[in-house]
């Protein structure tokens, strides 16, 4: 059976990947306790699990915001290098368990940096009015390609529709719950 499409239970979700609902708990038990100041932010979709943790605060004083940002970026870079082998092993285990790519990032003060992120292709058919929007973004220099323009537009919608998207996700979850309580037709 192929991936995607309506499948009855969980209709709009991908069919074959196992649930990753317990991934935050699994990661809390698997991650070294000294990496982050608390539980990491774990974001899960159909293709990827993104783990972003808060690093311990810098002890030094910095003369200005630019110096502080540079120190934060340097500390994140050091974390990335020092934890690389362990992160690869944790990612390998999680990828096997959840059948999704695992990506990492870190936060420190006002700096948030993602590394090893996954980019998934998404196919779509657009009619001329939608293509003209993308072409305008390309022609104006906002994006280098239609693909980049579409990604930009999706990010923009996501930034301005967070509350609505959260409400939609909650409604989808409720539909899944109701569907699971219904009769089993199999």
Residue 91 burial class via C-beta count within 10 angstroms: exposed 0-12, middle 13-18, buried 19 and up: middle
Q: Which two tokens stand for residue 65?
A: 């915001």
pLDDT of 70-106, one tens digit each?
999 999 999 999 999 999 999 999 999 999 999 999 9
Range from 13-22, 32-41, 168-177 carrying the lowest mean pLDDT: 13-22
Instruction: Give yes or no for residue 183 having a pLDDT over 90.
Output: no
Question: Residue range 172-181: average pLDDT?
Answer: 85
pLDDT of 23-75, one tens digit each?
999 999 999 999 999 999 999 988 899 999 999 999 888 888 899 999 999 99
- The position carrying tokens 């089993």 is 184
Whole-angstrom distance, CA of residue 9 vs CA of residue 20: 16
Question: Could you tell me the pTM of the whole model?
Answer: 0.67
Question: Residue range 134-138: average pLDDT?
Answer: 89
What is the pLDDT at residue 116? 78
What is the pLDDT at residue 15? 54
| Mean pLDDT rounded to a whole number for the chain | 86
CB 108 within 8 A of CB 58: yes
- Strands 48-54 and 101-108, how do they pair? parallel
Is residue 186 very low, low, confident or very high in pLDDT (cuts 50, 70, 90)?
Answer: low
Structure-model confidence comparison of residues 122 and 12, the more confident one: 122
What is the pLDDT at residue 13? 46
Measured CA angle at 119 (ends 116, 122), to 5 deg = 170
What is the pLDDT at residue 48? 92
Half-sphere exposure of 121 (CA within 13 A, CB side): 1
Question: Residue range 137-161: average pLDDT?
Answer: 88
Q: Write the DSSP string, 66-133.
A: HHHHHHHHHHHHHHHHHHHHHHHHHHHHHHHHHSSEEEEEEEETTEEEEES-----------HHHHHH
Whole-angstrom distance, CA of residue 112 vs CA of residue 41: 12
Residue 41 burial class via C-beta count within 10 angstroms: exposed 0-12, middle 13-18, buried 19 and up: middle
């Amino acid at each position: 059976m192929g991936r995607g499409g309506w499948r009855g239970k969980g209709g709009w979700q991908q069919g074959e990947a196992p649930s990753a609902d317990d991934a935050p708990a699994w990661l809390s038990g698997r991650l070294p306790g000294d990496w982050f100041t608390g539980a990491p932010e774990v974001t899960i979709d159909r293709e990827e699990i993104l783990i972003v943790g808060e690093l311990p605060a810098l002890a030094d004083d910095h003369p200005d915001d630019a110096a502080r940002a540079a120190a934060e970026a340097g500390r994140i870079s050091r974390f990335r290098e020092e934890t690389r082998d362990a992160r690869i092993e944790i990612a390998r285990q999680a990828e096997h368990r959840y059948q999704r790519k695992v990506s990492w990032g870190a936060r420190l003060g006002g700096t948030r940096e993602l590394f090893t992120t996954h980019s998934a292709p998404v196919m779509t058919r657009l009619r001329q009015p939608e293509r003209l929007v993308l072409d305008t973004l390309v022609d104006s220099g906002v994006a280098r390609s239609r693909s980049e323009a579409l990604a930009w537009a999706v990010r923009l919608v996501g930034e301005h529709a967070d509350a609505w998207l959260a409400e939609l996700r909650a409604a989808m979850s409720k539909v899944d719950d109701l569907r699971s309580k219904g009769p089993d037709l199999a």
